[in-house]
Amino acid sequence: MPWRRSHLRRVSRWISRMSMRQRSWRYAAFSRSIGWIVNELIEYTHSHGITSHIRLWYAKYHELQQKNSILPSHYIYTACRQAASVYKSFIELRKLGMCEEGKLVFKGRTIWLDNELFKLDAESWSFLIVVHGGRWITLRLLHGSYI
């Protein structure tokens, strides 16, 4: 029996629901802790006027590594890069008058991953992320029609 559009819609809805369920119990607490680290680094860059991710890394790495000893060190490095990038774009938008003065808070649910933290498996439409202890968790990619 050939695939009809209605079948594909049902399959894509099922895949997106399964991925969101999987993401919610495996990934939510992990992404919240990374978001907390990024917000702490953004506060530090805002109070000290640091725009370089390397200066930020030198200033905060050891403190964050002691607080979050279960995370691989590359997460702190990429969080420093992300915080410096967010702060630089905040400065540019403030110069253009497109954002308000005040406290900068990062509300995004994204984390930056470099090659040591992320592996893509294109054949099975999934990717792997390293977590504490050198373990890898597998998450499925959402693909298909999003109806």
Q: Is residue 117 part of a domain?
A: yes
pLDDT at 76 over 50: yes
Q: What angle do CA 94, 108, 82 make, to 5 degrees?
A: 70
Q: Quick one: pLDDT band at residue 72, thresholds 50, 70, 90?
A: confident
Q: Quick one: pLDDT band at residue 61, thresholds 50, 70, 90?
A: very high
C-beta atoms surrounding 34 within 10 Å = 21
Closest by Cα among 31, 30, 22, 39 to 103 = 39
Condensed to tens digits (0 to 9), the pLDDT of residues 92-130 reads 988 888 887 777 777 776 778 777 888 888 788 888 888
What 3-state DSSP class applies to 8? Answer: helix
Q: Is residue 100 part of a domain?
A: yes
pLDDT of residue 29: 64
Q: Is residue 146 part of a domain?
A: no
Lowest mean pLDDT among 1-15, 52-66, 116-130: 1-15
Q: Is residue 145 part of a domain?
A: no
Q: Where are the beta strands (DSSP E) in the chain?
A: 118-121, 126-130, 136-140
Q: Is residue 92 part of a domain?
A: yes
Q: Is residue 26 part of a domain?
A: yes
Total domains in the chain come to 1
In which domain, by residue range, is 95 found? 5-140
pLDDT of residue 26: 53
Q: Is residue 110 part of a domain?
A: yes
Q: Is residue 65 part of a domain?
A: yes
pTM of the model: 0.71
